[in-house]
Structure 1
């Protein structure tokens, strides 16, 4: 991927994070990126996600926590608007 596209995608992710959770800090961007990637994999290739969950149960718990955090931040952001 060339640098221009990478910059544009990063900008898109930053704006998406800001709109979703209210603040596009680097920590929030990482959480949203993790949530996006895991959600997409779980929906498009459920057997892969199931295998990964079984292989790495501690990481699965961390992913669940990230998803819960993103959901909570989104709900708080919606309430502010």
Structure 2
């Protein structure tokens, strides 16, 4: 992959993280990247995700924690930015 494309994808991930969570930093960006990759794999190739979960149960638990963290941050962001009635 060329450097320009890498930079452009990094910018896309930064913006996605900001829109999803309301803030962007390197740690959150890495978490969102892992979450997006795992989510895509689990939906497009469920047997592969199942195999990985069975092979690495401790990683599966960490991924569940990461997903919960991202969901909580997203809900908080949406709550804080919803139109007030």
Please report the TM-score for the alignment, with normalisation by the length of structure 1. 0.98
Rg (Cα) greater in structure: 2
Deviations 1:37-74 (A, max 9, x none): 00000000000000000000000000000000000000
Q: Residue 57 of structure 1 corresponds to which residue in structure 2?
A: 57
Query: Comparing both chains, which one has the higher relative contact order based on Cα–Cα distances under 8 Å and sequence gaps of 6 or more?
Result: 1
* 1:30-41 matches, cutoff 5 A: 30-41=30-41
Q: Residue 29 of structure 2 corresponds to which residue in structure 1?
A: 29
Counting matched residue pairs gives: 81
The runs of at least 4 aligned residues of structure 1 exceeding 3 Å deviation read none
Distance between the aligned counterparts of 1:34 and 1:65, measured in 2?
Answer: 12
Distance between the aligned counterparts of 1:56 and 1:69, measured in 2?
Answer: 20
- Alpha-carbon RMSD: 0.4
Deviation of the 1:80 alpha carbon: 1.1
Q: Residue 77 of structure 1 corresponds to which residue in structure 2?
A: 77
* Unmatched 5+ stretches in structure 1: none
* Unmatched 5+ stretches in structure 2: none
Please report the TM-score for the alignment, with normalisation by the length of structure 2. 0.94
